[in-house]
Amino acid sequence: MPLTGEYKPSTSEWARTQAEQYEASNGAEANELRGVPIIVLTSVGAKSGGLRKTALMRVEHEGKYLVVASKGGAPEAPAWYWNVVKHAHVELQDGAVTRDYMARELSGDERALWWERAVAVWPDYNEYQKKTEREIAIFVLEPF
Ligand SMILES: C[C@H](OP(=O)(O)OC[C@@H](O)[C@@H](O)[C@@H](O)Cn1c2nc(=O)[nH]c(=O)c-2cc2ccc(O)cc21)C(=O)N[C@@H](CCC(=O)N[C@@H](CCC(=O)O)C(=O)O)C(=O)O
């Protein structure tokens, strides 16, 4: 059941452009960051209720995805983090395929396992974690 609602573009020009170009090209363009594949997450705004589209690194394992609320190691979590906390039903576009997922925030051993998978794709996540006091939140997205 696809998400419904009004699309609300990001205020970040860089991120908005990448998400919109990726979506418009069915994942054929704007689909990498420094040669590493990305995906686009659609979440429901925690305050606005609008649809937010966010480009994120592609971390996938056996049909499940991981999204990492790193925001480059900024002190505060990205806004989309609060969306996913409030509305676990998200959509993820990987290339030309968009599917529904339920997001679940990870902790403990499961978090450690998935964190390693994320760092294997994008080693900078370790650098981001060193830059901030907050433990960078990660969610596993499971198809339903
Ligand atoms: C710029 C800001 O975006 P943000 O949700 O804070 O997310 C910041 C970044 O994570 C986001 O720009 C990512 O796309 C950056 N980014 C990555 N960010 C990551 O955190 N992790 C990644 O792996 C990642 C990879 C990546 C790859 C390519 C690329 O182009 C960008 C990448 C934004 O859009 N703010 C909106 C509000 C967004 C929002 O969702 N608001 C909610 C309220 C949220 C709340 O309750 O606070 C609502 O609509 O109700 C605004 O200012 O209007």
**Length of the chain, please?**
144
**Torsion angles phi and psi, residue 13, rounded to 5:** -55, -45
The answer, yes or no, to whether any atom of ligand 1 lies below 6 A from the CB of 56, is yes
Predicted confidence (pLDDT) at residue 50 exceeds the cutoff of 90: yes
The answer, yes or no, to whether any atom of ligand 1 lies below 6 A from the CB of 129, is no
Tell whether pTM > 0.90.
yes
**What tens digit of pLDDT does each residue of 84-134 get?**
999 999 999 999 999 999 999 999 999 999 999 999 999 999 999 999 999
Mutation choice for ligand 1 from 80, 87, 94, 121, CB with most ligand atoms inside 8 A: 80
Predicted confidence (pLDDT) at residue 1 exceeds the cutoff of 80: no
More reliable by pLDDT, 88 or 10? 88
Q: Please tell me the predicted confidence (pLDDT) of residue 14.
A: 87
